[in-house]
Amino acid sequence: DIQMTQSPSSVSASVGDRVTITCRAGHNIRTYLNWYQQKPGKAPQLLIFGVSTLQSGVPSRFRGTRSGTEFTLTISSLQPEDFATYYCQQSYSTWTFGQGTKVEMK
Amino acid sequence: QVQLQESGPGLVKPSETLSLTCGVSGFPVTSGHYWAWVRQPQEKDLQWLGSMYHDGTTTYEPSLKSRVTISRDTSNNHFSLTMRSVTAADTALYYCARVFGEFLSFDSWGPGILVTVSS
């Protein structure tokens, strides 16, 4: 199994803030890294695939980057609809999710 | 546009078998890459359970492999999850999803079904 270590587990932020979430893979997963957004009572939704490609309809304030086995999701200017839980996922060898990061209102 | 919908009993007794079906519309289960099951205990992590490739081959999360089977019904365009010998620890929201594209991301999800294991 490839472990995915996601941090922080939660972050308190205000509208307009820049938010950064990190995911570290326990193995070289190349660019097989995806990000999901989940709102309460809803299924996760694909946000970014292949490290940095935005799923159709996802606003450009979301950005994904990679440095080796460390992956980052950045929300450049947090909007009210962005308060949610975010998960990374590796798809290099079967699939594993990170533990999730809850973005809460400060 | 592909749509997925989970169905099955919301309550299962301990030691019995959980059976869920994922109805798919707008895309044949014999196409694409994989079809997957994921679960989420209340307000906890997402756990991938297993996937079926479009040719019918399967792969499972190692810790659940002995208890889980994924199958499909191509005539009705659905795929199913069977989990044997359930315990309270299997209480969760269960999702089905389509796995698609070069990076094997889960691009479409069902709304989820809550399954409670209790006597």
Q: How far is B61 from chain A (nearest CA, A)?
A: 8
Collect contacts of B1-6 with beta carbons under 8 A, ≥24 apart: B1/B26, B2/B26, B2/B27, B2/B98, B2/B108, B3/B108, B4/B96, B4/B97, B4/B98, B4/B108, B4/B109, B4/B110, B5/B110, B5/B111, B6/B94, B6/B95, B6/B96, B6/B110, B6/B111, B6/B112, B6/B113
Half-sphere exposure of B12 (CA within 13 A, CB side): 25
Q: What pLDDT digit, counting tens, does each position of B13-48 carry?
A: 999 999 999 999 999 999 878 999 999 997 779 999
Chain A to chain B Cβ contacts (< 8 Å): 60
Question: Do A49 and B61 lie within an 8 Å CB cutoff?
Answer: no
CB A88 within 8 A of CB A73: yes
Say how many C-beta atoms besides its own lie within 10 A of residue B43's C-beta: 10
> Which residues make beta-bridge pairs with A46?
A36
Instruction: Tell me the C-alpha distance between B44 and A82, whole Å.
Output: 19
pLDDT of residue B111: 98
Give percent of chain B with pLDDT exceeding 90. Answer: 92
In this structure, chain B runs to a length of 119
Vertex B95, ends B42 and A26: CA angle to 5°?
75
Q: What pLDDT digit, counting tens, does each position of B48-99 carry?
A: 999 999 889 999 999 999 999 999 999 999 999 999 999 999 999 999 999 9
Residue of B nearest to A33 (CA): B103
* Closest by Cβ to B104, choosing from A53, A91, A96: A91
Question: Do B45 and A99 lie within an 8 Å CB cutoff?
Answer: yes
Q: What pLDDT digit, counting tens, does each position of A67-102 carry?
A: 999 999 999 999 999 999 999 999 999 999 999 999
* Closest by Cβ to A94, choosing from B48, B106, B112: B48
* Closest by Cβ to A49, choosing from B62, B95, B101: B101
Vertex A84, ends A78 and A90: CA angle to 5°?
105
Query: Could you tell me the pLDDT band of residue A32, with boundaries at 50, 70 and 90?
Result: very high
Q: Is the pLDDT of residue A28 over 90?
A: yes
Q: Which residues of B touch A1 (CB under 8 A)?
A: 62
pLDDT of residue B31: 86
